[in-house]
Structure formats: structure tokens, C-alpha cells
């Protein structure tokens, strides 16, 4: 199949690259000339394990192309994927400007019957609206059918997830269009669920809201565990053995970040609000997450009279491991508040340092290694569970002025700390001194 993918953000690029890997002719389109030039040479604009390798391979095998010209990508395309961003408006709703811009281009440029697949996360009803919008602006006498195909990839494991996902959801008005998209995806070998368009759109929001709910739920259980001297890891294991609950996504910590859960939960609250429904449970989930991001600061403030003048090491800045993404990361609010309280912050992240320099308060000092960040520190905070941090040699803590650790991601087994020199505060587990 000839496929065009508009938007080379994380969703668009991974979609384009993996579709080329399973044999399709794919042209990725983006308006950013610099980015397109780099991608033509196989350089990925994002850090995503395995992505660059697949880009290089499929460019070399002449299946993967990049362009800034929509007409070049749309020429002979059987299917056009829209994967542009839907950023958050100030009121929490999804901004559809970029999706509409692409829709106009499609209406003006296509010369043959085309299926338009919307990958971007869009409010329920948007696919229908875009279908009408395209029809309204169509220049030539061709047929366009819009299909919803929401994305369930996780950053950091996106390539793996593409080939091992739990399901592919296709929402379409006609079985014929759904079958074409099913055929395109067949080589991935993942179960396909075909449904109506609005349910497909809702599945995306409901899935992310449910996962966010699981996280806020276990975080509140963790907060209670701390007060009753229980261990949230044990509790998560114990409840997770019940298959109705499941053992995944029950890691307590300093809340969820990233480009999806924070944005999609707020967008779903808006969607519900527009039809006069107050989604009380989800409001709670969002509020709990906001508070959880400040939890390590509360612990620090309980432990020390003042943070003024303290040298505090911060290990891990990305919103989760294996990504250089800092969007909505707890590190943003935590480092800002540490600086506000007069602390000196020395930070290290194995991959996200460049993005951190653009995102976080400027007075942070960046270290080149975990060792350098910890040297002479009065306390250390762990904000991302990178393997480099989880499996670090604890002897390094000896170089701290006082080896007091506040771990927001429960990186260390409590049993491994019995003879340790560190004082260890984590989430939902007893303090080790």
C-alpha cells in the first residue's frame, strides 16, 4: 500500500517507520524542514530505543521517505494518516487546529479515492466532523472516508509495542474501510477490534483515564500505607494477583507525567462537561496526581528545618525511563520549588539533560554523572527509575555529605538496604535508617 503520514512527532514517526518495516511504501510529511532533512539521513528527532535503526534500514530499502511537500506525499496515497499534535488549550480541551489544517490540505490536494486515518487523540465526534469538513472543502470528485485508529504506544517502548501491542482499534462507518485498515496492519500480528467511530475515539480516552486512575489509586494507597506502617509494594503484589485487578500499572510514585495522561484526563473531563456530566472520579484522579508530584518536597520539609543553602542532588529528570521527554514530569515542579526554597540543585539524567536545560529553571547545575551529582550533597532525590540509578553501586552514596535519599520511584529493594549507610525515604514504604 502507498501510505502518507502527516506529522512526525512521536506517534507519526513511529507509525510511519513501523508501517514501512512491515512492507508498505510510506512517506512521512512534516512542515519542519530541518527535521525532515535530518530524518532523510536517518536521524530520529526523538530518543526512542530501536527507532533510528529501523529508520535507516527502511530508508536504505527504499520504503520510507520524508518530505515537507504534502502533494508529494499524497500523490498516489491509498491511505493518509493524520498524526499531528492535539495540544491542550488553556481550558484543558484539545486544540484541533493542526488536524484541521491537514484536513484542508487533503481536501485540496487528493486526486483519488482515499481513506483518511486519524491517529491523533481527538475528542469524541471529531472524526465525523473532519469527514464533513473534508467533504465540504473537496476540490475534485473523489471519495474520502475517515477512520479512527487510536494509538496505544508507550514512549520508551514504542517500537516493541508496535509489534507486541494488546489490540489495534479501528473505528469506521463502513466495514469496507475498516477491512482495508485491518489488512494494512495484519503483518503486525496484533488482535484487531473493529467498532464504530465514536466508540473508537472514546476507547482512547477511557483507556488512558483508566490507567491514570490505577496510578492515582495506588498512590493514595501508598500514602495510607506510610501512615499505618504497611508496604505498598507488598500490597500491590497482593492485590495484583487477583486477575480482575491485574498486576500492571500499580507502581506507586510521584505521579504520572508525559504528554498523554495529564492531557487526556483533562480533555475527557472537558468532553464530559460539554454533555453536562461531572466525571467526579476522574477529577479526583487528576487532583491526587497534582498532590503526588509534591510528595517528595513534603517529605524533605518534614525531615529538614529548612532547605535554604542545602546542596540537593536530583537523579532522573525525564517523566519516565528510556525517554528524553520532560513533558509534565514531576522534575519540573520539584526542581522549581527546591530553588524557590533556597536549595542548590545538582541534577543528572542519562538522556534527558538537553531537554532539561530547555525546560527547567535555569539555576540548576548539571552534573555529568551520578557520582558527580552526589558528591558533597546534603540529600538526594530520585525522580526517574532509570536502570543506571536502580542498579547503581551504593558505595557512591559515601561521597555525599549526608547520605539521605528521597526516592520518588521506589528504585531500591528495602531488604537490600539492611546494612546500608543511607537513610532511605521512599513512597508508601517504611523509612530505612
**Please, which residues have CB within 8 angstroms of residue 80's CB and are 6 or more apart in sequence?**
3, 4, 5, 6, 73, 74, 106, 110, 114, 115, 116, 117
Residue 320 in contact with ligand UGA, rule: CB under 6 A: yes
Kindly state the cell numbers that stand for 216.
492515582
Site string for ligand UGA, 263-302 (x = CB under 6 A): -x--------------------------------------
Contact pick of 257, 316, 350, 408 for ligand UGA (by CB under 6 A)? 257
Stretch that binds ligand UGA, among 40-48, 93-101, 179-187, 260-268 (CB under 6 A): 260-268
Residue 258 in contact with ligand UGA, rule: CB under 6 A: yes
Stretch that binds ligand UGA, among 132-140, 223-231, 255-263, 361-369 (CB under 6 A): 255-263
Contact pick of 205, 319, 366, 406 for ligand UGA (by CB under 6 A)? 319
Contact pick of 253, 316, 350, 408 for ligand UGA (by CB under 6 A)? 253
SS3 state at 184: helix
Residues for the chain: how many in total? 433
| Nearest by Cα to 107 from 143, 72, 66, 69 | 143
Burial of 329 (0-12, 13-18, 19+ CB in 10 A): buried
CB atoms within 10 A of CB 200: 23
Tell me the CA distances in angstroms from 352 to 158, 174, 315, 316, one per residue in order. 17, 44, 11, 8
Measured from the CB atom, the residue of 114 and 213 that comes closer to ligand UGA is: 213
Choose, from 28, 225, 260, 411, the residue flagged as catalytic: 260
Measured from the CB atom, the residue of 24 and 320 that comes closer to ligand UGA is: 320
Measured from the CB atom, the residue of 11 and 307 that comes closer to ligand UGA is: 11
Residue 260 in contact with ligand UGA, rule: CB under 6 A: yes
Angle (nearest 5°) at CA 383 between 216 and 349: 140
Stretch that binds ligand UGA, among 129-137, 243-251, 299-307, 345-353 (CB under 6 A): 243-251
Measured from the CB atom, the residue of 289 and 344 that comes closer to ligand UGA is: 289
Site string for ligand UGA, 207-236 (x = CB under 6 A): -x--x---x---------------------
- Report the nearest approach of ligand UGA to the CB of residue 324 (Å): 13
Which residues, in sequence order, are bridge partners of residue 342?
none
Angle (nearest 5°) at CA 26 between 25 and 27: 130
Burial of 391 (0-12, 13-18, 19+ CB in 10 A): exposed
Measured from the CB atom, the residue of 42 and 165 that comes closer to ligand UGA is: 165
- The count of chain residues that interact with ligand UGA, using the rule CB under 6 A, is 20
Would you say 212 and 265 are in contact if contact means Cβ atoms under 8 Å apart? yes
Within residues 115-154, the interface with ligand UGA by CB under 6 A covers 151-154
SS3 state at 28: strand
- Residue 66's H or E segment, with its range, is strand 64-67
Cα–Cα distance, 334 to 228 (Å, whole number) = 26
Cα–Cα distance, 167 to 151 (Å, whole number) = 10
Stretch that binds ligand UGA, among 40-48, 93-101, 170-178, 248-256 (CB under 6 A): 248-256
- Report the nearest approach of ligand UGA to the CB of residue 245 (Å): 13
Measured from the CB atom, the residue of 250 and 380 that comes closer to ligand UGA is: 250
| Nearest by Cα to 264 from 118, 95, 88 | 88
Measured from the CB atom, the residue of 211 and 343 that comes closer to ligand UGA is: 211
Measured from the CB atom, the residue of 261 and 397 that comes closer to ligand UGA is: 261
Cα–Cα distance, 278 to 297 (Å, whole number) = 31
Within residues 376-405, the interface with ligand UGA by CB under 6 A covers none
Active site residue 260: yes
Give one DSSP letter per residue of 238-271, joined into a string. HHHTSTTT-SSS---SS---SSSHHHHHHHHHHH
Stretch that binds ligand UGA, among 185-193, 244-252, 370-378, 421-429 (CB under 6 A): 244-252
| Contact residues: ligand UGA, CB under 6 A | 151-155, 208, 211, 215, 249-251, 253, 256-258, 260-261, 264, 319-320
Instruction: Kindly list the catalytic residues.
Output: 260
Amino acid at each position: 500500500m502507498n501510505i502518507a503520514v502527516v506529522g512526525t512527532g512521536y506517534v507519526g514517526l513511529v507509525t510511519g517507520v513501523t508501517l514501512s518495516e512491515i512492507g508498505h511504501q510510506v512517506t512521512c510529511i512534516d512542515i519542519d524542514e530541518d527535521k525532515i532533512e535530518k530524518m532523510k539521513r536517518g536521524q530520529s528527532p526523538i530518543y526512542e530505543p530501536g527507532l533510528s535503526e529501523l529508520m535507516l534500514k527502511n530508508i536504505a530499502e527504499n520504503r520510507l521517505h520524508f518530505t515537507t511537500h504534502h502533494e508529494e506525499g499524497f500523490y498516489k496515497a491509498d491511505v493518509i494518516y493524520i498524526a499531528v499534535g492535539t495540544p491542550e488549550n488553556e481550558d484543558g480541551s484539545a486544540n484541533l487546529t493542526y488536524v484541521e489544517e491537514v484536513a484542508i490540505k487533503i481536501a485540496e490536494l487528493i486526486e483519488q479515492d482515499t481513506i483518511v486515518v486519524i491517529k491523533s487523540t481527538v475528542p469524541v465526534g471529531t472524526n465525523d466532523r473532519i469527514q464533513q469538513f473534508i467533504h465540504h472543502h473537496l476540490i475534485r470528485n473523489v471519495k474520502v472516508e475517515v477512520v479512527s485508529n487510536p494509538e496505544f504506544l508507550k514512549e520508551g517502548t514504542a517500537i516493541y509495542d508496535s509489534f507486541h501491542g494488546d489490540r489495534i482499534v479501528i473505528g469506521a462507518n463502513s466495514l469496507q474501510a475498516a477491512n482495508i485498515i485491518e489488512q494494512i496492519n495484519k503483518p503486525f500480528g496484533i488482535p484487531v477490534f473493529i467498532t464504530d467511530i465514536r466508540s473508537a475515539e472514546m476507547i482512547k480516552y477511557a483507556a488512558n483515564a483508566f490507567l491514570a486512575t490505577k496510578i492515582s489509586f495506588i498512590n493514595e494507597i501508598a500514602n495510607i500505607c506510610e501512615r499505618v506502617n504497611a508496604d505498598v509494594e507488598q500490597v500491590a503484589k497482593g492485590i495484583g494477583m487477583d486477575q480482575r485487578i491485574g498486576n500492571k500499572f500499580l507502581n506507586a510514585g510521584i505521579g504520572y507525567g508525559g504528554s498523554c495522561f495529564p492531557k487526556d484526563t483533562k480533555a475527557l473531563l472537558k468532553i464530559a462537561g460539554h454533555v453536562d456530566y461531572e466525571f467526579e472520579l476522574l477529577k479526583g484522579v487528576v487532583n491526587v496526581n497534582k498532590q503526588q508530584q509534591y510528595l517528595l518536597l513534603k517529605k524533605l520539609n518534614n525531615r529538614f528545618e529548612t532547605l535554604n543553602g542545602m546542596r540537593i542532588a536530583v537523579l532522573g529528570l525525564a517523566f519516565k525511563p528510556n525517554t528524553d521527554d520532560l513533558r509534565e514530569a514531576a522534575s519540573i515542579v520539584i526542581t522549581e520549588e527546591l530553588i524557590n526554597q533556597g536549595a542548590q540543585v545538582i541534577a543528572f539524567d542519562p538522556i534527558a539533560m538537553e531537554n532539561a536545560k530547555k525546560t527547567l529553571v535555569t539555576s540548576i547545575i548539571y552534573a555529568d554523572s551520578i557520582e558527580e551529582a552526589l558528591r558533597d550533597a546534603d540529600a538526594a532525590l530520585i525522580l526517574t527509575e532509570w536502570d543506571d540509578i536502580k542498579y547503581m553501586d551504593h558505595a557512591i552514596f559515601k561521597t555525599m555529605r549526608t547520605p539521605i535519599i528521597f526516592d520518588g520511584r521506589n528504585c531500591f529493594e528495602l531488604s537490600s538496604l539492611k546494612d546500608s549507610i543511607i537513610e532511605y525515604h521512599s513512597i508508601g514504604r517504611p523509612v530505612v535508617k
